[in-house]
Structure 1
Amino acid sequence: MQKLNLSQVLSQKLSPQQIQFIKLLQVPTVELEARIEEELEINPALEEGKDADLDDTTDDFGNDADPMEGKDDQDINIDEYLSDEYGGYKMQGDGNYNPDDETRELPLSSGTTLHEQLISQLNFLKLDERQKLIGRQLIGSIENDGYIRRDLDAIMNDLAFSQNIETDEDELEGILLKIQGFDPPGIAARNLQECLIIQLERKDHPEDPVVQHAIQVIQNCFDEFTKKHYDKILKKCHINEEELKDIIQMITRLNPKPGGISEGLMRTQYLIPDFLLSEVNGKFEITLNSKNAPELRVSRSYSEMFNAYDKSDKKDRKLKETVSFVKQKLDAAKWFIDAIKQRQQTLLKTMEAILEYQYEFFHDGDETKLRPMILKDIAEKIDMDISTVSRVANSKSIQTEFGIYPLKYFFSEGIATEGGEDVSNREVKSVLAKMVEEENKKKPLSDDKLVKLLNNKGYNIARRTVAKYREQLQIPVARLRKEL
Structure 2
Amino acid sequence: MNMNMDYGLFQQQSMKLVMTNELRQAITILQYSVLDLGQYLHEQQLENPLMELKDNLMKEELERSKQDIMMPVYEGKSRFGFDQDEEYSPLDQVSERQEGLQDHLLNQIRFLKLDSGLRRIVTYFALSVDENGYLKTPVHELAEELREPKHLVEAGIHILQSLEPIGVGASSLKDCLLIQLQRMEVRDLLAEKIVSNYLDILAKKQFKTVAKAEGVDVSEVQYVFDFIQTLNPKPGSTFHNEPPKYVIPDVTVKKVNGEYIVFLNEDHLPELTMNSRYEALLKNSETEVSEYIHRKYEQFQWIKRSVEQRQQTLLKVTKAIVDYQQNFLEHGPSHLRPLTLKTIAEAIDVHESTVSRATTKKYLQTPKGLLELKYFFSSNVGNDSGEASSSERVKIYLKRLVDEENKQKPLSDQKLASALKEQGIHVSRRTVAKYRDEMHILSSSQRKRYS
Which residue pairs with 1:56 in the alignment?
none
Q: Distance in 2 between matches of 1:412 and 1:437?
A: 23
Q: 1:182 to 1:22 in 2, by over 3 A?
A: farther
Q: CA deviation at 1:435?
A: 0.4
- Measure, in 2, the Cα distance between the counterparts of 1:230 and 1:431: 31
CA change 1:102–1:458 in 2 (3 A) is closer
Task: Summarize the alignment of residues 377-392 of structure 1 with structure 2, pairs less than 5 Å apart.
Answer: 377-392=343-358
TM-score, structure 1 normalization? 0.72
| C-alpha spacing 1:231/1:12, structure 2 compared with 1 (3 Å) | closer
Q: Which residue of 1 aligns with 2:324?
A: 357
Map of 1:429-444 to 2, 5 A cutoff? 429-444=395-410
Counterparts of 1:393 and 1:446 in 2: how far apart (Å)? Answer: 37
Aligned-residue offset at 1:432? 0.8
Aligned partners of 1:186 and 1:198 also within 8 Å: yes
- Pick from 257, 280, 303 the counterpart of residue 256 of structure 2: 280
Alignment partners' CA distance in 1, 2:54 and 2:394: 48
Q: Does 1:20 align with 2:25?
A: yes
Shift of 1:424: 1.0
Measured in 2, the distance between the counterparts of 1:184 and 1:349 equals 52
How far 1:145 moved relative to its partner? 5.8
Q: CA deviation at 1:284?
A: 1.7
Query: Judging changes above 3 Å, is the alpha-carbon distance between structure 1 residues 380 and 443 closer, same or farther for their aligned structure 2 residues?
Result: same
- Preserved CA contact (<8 Å) 1:122 1:135: no
Contact 1:134 1:172 in 2 (8 A): no
The residue type paired with residue 37 of structure 2 is L
Relative to 1, partners in 2 of residues 1:284 and 1:231: Cα closer, same or farther, differing over 3 Å? same
Give, in whole Å, the separation in 2 of the partners of 1:238 and 1:344.
66
Change (3 A) 1:131 1:257: closer
Paired letter, 1:427: R
- Summarize deviations over 1:136-178 as a string: whole Å, max 9, x none: 7843xx4x6665666556x55xx86xx6x54565555544445
Q: Secondary structure at the match of 2:441?
A: coil
Mapped pair 1:481 → 2:447? yes
Matches within 5 A, 1:84-483: 101=60, 104=63, 107=66, 117-121=100-104, 123-124=106-107, 125=109, 131=121, 135=125, 138-139=128-129, 142=130, 155=141, 166=147, 170-180=151-161, 185-201=166-182, 206-208=184-186, 214-215=191-192, 217-219=194-196, 222=199, 225-226=202-203, 227=205, 229=207, 233=211, 236=214, 249-258=226-235, 260-262=237-239, 264-290=240-266, 292-307=268-283, 309=284, 315=286, 320-365=287-332, 367-483=333-449
Mapping for residues 31-46 of structure 1, pairs under 5 Å: 31-46=36-51
Q: Is the 8 A contact 1:371 1:424 kept in 2?
A: yes
In the alignment, the residues of structure 2 paired with residue 473 and residue 290 of structure 1 have an alpha-carbon distance, to the nearest angstrom, of: 36
Distance 1:135 1:408, change over 3 A: same
SS of 1:339's equivalent? helix
> Structure 1's 332 and 373: CA in aligned 2 closer, same or farther, altered over 3 A?
same
| Paired residues of 1:451 and 1:466 also in contact (CA < 8 A) | yes
Distance 2:175 2:9 in 1: 69
Q: Is the 8 A contact 1:217 1:233 kept in 2?
A: no
Distance 2:155 2:7 in 1: 72
Question: In structure 1, how many angstroms separate the alpha carbons of the residues matched to 2:164 and 2:10?
Answer: 69
1:232-275 C-alpha deviation (Å, 9 max, x unpaired): 6599497996x87875554323333446545x523452233222
| Distance in structure 2 (CA, Å) of the matches to 1:253 and 1:322 | 69
* Range moving further from structure 2, 228-237 or 412-421: 228-237
Distance 1:105 1:424 in 2: 37
In structure 2, C-alpha distance between the alignment counterparts of 1:364 and 1:234, rounded to whole Å: 51
SS at match of 2:446: helix
Aligned residues: percent identity?
Answer: 32
* Change over 3 Å in CA distance of 1:185–1:403 after alignment to 2: farther
Contact kept in structure 2, 1:279 and 1:285, CA below 8 Å: yes
Q: CA deviation at 1:19?
A: 0.4
| Segment drifting more, 222-231 vs 99-108 | 99-108
- Once the two structures are superposed, what CA deviation does each residue of 1:402-449 show, in whole Å capped at 9, x if it has no partner? 222222211111112244322111111111111001111121111121
Structure 2: distance between partners of 1:22 and 1:120: 45
Distance 1:417 1:217, change over 3 A: same
Q: CA deviation at 1:458?
A: 2.9
* Contact kept in structure 1, 2:132 and 2:234, CA below 8 Å: yes
Taking the aligned partners of 2:163 and 2:65, their CA distance within structure 1 comes to 32
TM-score (norm 2): 0.76
Change (3 A) 1:168 1:427: farther
State the distance in 1 between where 2:445 and 2:149 align: 43
Counterpart amino acid of residue 207 in structure 1:
E
Partner of 2:77: none
Q: Distance in 1 between matches of 2:161 and 2:29?
A: 45
Separation in 1 of the partners of 2:189 and 2:20?
A: 68
Larger deviation: 419-428 or 344-353? 419-428
- State the Cα RMSD in Å: 4.0
Q: Secondary structure at the match of 1:428?
A: helix
Aligned with 2:52: secondary structure?
strand
Cα distance in 2 between the residues matched to 1:22 and 1:408: 18
CA distance in 2, matches of 1:28, 1:421: 34
Give yes or no for contact 2:106–2:123 (8 Å, CA) kept in 1: no
Q: Provide the C-alpha distance between the structure 2 equivalents of 1:138 and 1:99, rounded to a whole number of angstroms.
A: 41
Whole-Å separation in 2 of the counterparts to 1:234 and 1:452: 34
Partner amino acid for 2:423?
K
